[in-house]
Amino acid sequence: MKTLRNTVQLIGNVGEDPKSHRFENGMLVCRFSLATNEQFLKDGEKVQETQWHQLVAWSRQAELASKYIVKGKEIAIKGKLTYRSYNNEAGEKQYITEILVDEILLLGNSAKDS
């Protein structure tokens, strides 16, 4: 059960083309968003709710994301939740929840493939 701690698995559609940055030491980081949809009945009507998740991929996963992932592409990811904070330009503390991606599986077609 130790492997179940802080594990996130999601299937959804990429919300934006990944943004990559290579550091001076050669390490690559890639950031992008993922939309997951849930459908349910409310008062007899079908309702769709979308949740947005911020993803961060490093090294090999970042290389994969920067080469093959585009806005609209359906993917599955496995990772873990991370939290961080920083002070913005106005000095106010900002909190960010992200998913640190361990694995990416490319699924289906992208919007650009259609």
**Full residue range of the structural domain in which residue 55 is found:** 6-104
For residue 57 the two structure tokens come to: 């991929």
Number of domains in the chain: 1
Q: Give me the long-range contacts of 80-88 (CB less than 8 A, separation at least 24).
A: 80/6, 80/7, 80/8, 81/6, 81/8, 82/56
pLDDT tens profile 20-42: 999 999 999 999 999 999 999 98
pTM given for the model: 0.83
For residue 101 the two structure tokens come to: 């991606």
> Tell me, what's the pLDDT at 5?
85
On whether residue 100 sits in a domain, the answer given is yes
Q: What is the CATH number of the domain that holds 76?
A: 2.40.50.140
On whether residue 66 sits in a domain, the answer given is yes
On whether residue 110 sits in a domain, the answer given is no
On whether residue 114 sits in a domain, the answer given is no
pLDDT at 91 over 90: yes
> pLDDT tier at 110 (50, 70, 90 boundaries)?
low
Q: How many CB atoms lie within 10 A of CB 92?
A: 8
